[in-house]
Amino acid sequence: MDEVIHARGHEHVSAAHASTFEVTTDDYLTPAGDCILAIDADRAPADFDPAFVDACRDADATITVTLEAGGHETTVTGRGDPALELTSERSAVGRTSEYVDERTILLGAEFAAEGFDRDLVDALADGAEATVTITVENRS
């Protein structure tokens, strides 16, 4: 089951954060937003199909995020959790930690913003259009 977000990069994309990565509906980015990979997203977790949200709330779910921009692609995998809210109307955040808030789309990510391919990050910093595909797979 997939959800797709279309967004774009920004000159301040640095992808330097060690524990999170984020895609936001905001149309701006300051240098302090070092976890943000793309802005001006056309959707947020609050827009996701209820069946997709339910699938993400399975503790055994595998959640994969693939970000494509400028001919480059990075995929990061984490897991679902019954505590996931997926109610944010602003941002989707992947986390290496166990912290959950309304923006969290996956926990236990294998890496955060700093782990994304640097050619992809450069393309995003040049303002490339981005496609973010979030896939949830349940073992049960």
pLDDT in tens, 71-98: 999 999 999 999 999 999 999 999 999 9
Q: Check which CATH number belongs to the domain holding 128 and give it.
A: 2.60.120.630
> What integer pLDDT is reported at residue 140 of this predicted model?
61
Region label for 8, one of left (φ > 0), alpha (ψ between -120 and 50) or beta (otherwise): beta
| Mean of pLDDT values over 15-33 | 97
48 is in which domain, residue-wise?
A: 2-137
Closest listed residue to residue 7, CA positions, set 25, 20, 32, 22: 25
Please give the residue that has the higher pLDDT: either 138 or 42: 42
Q: What is the mean pLDDT of the chain?
A: 97
Domain count, the chain: 1
> What integer pLDDT is reported at residue 107 of this predicted model?
98
| In the chain, % of residues over pLDDT 90 | 98
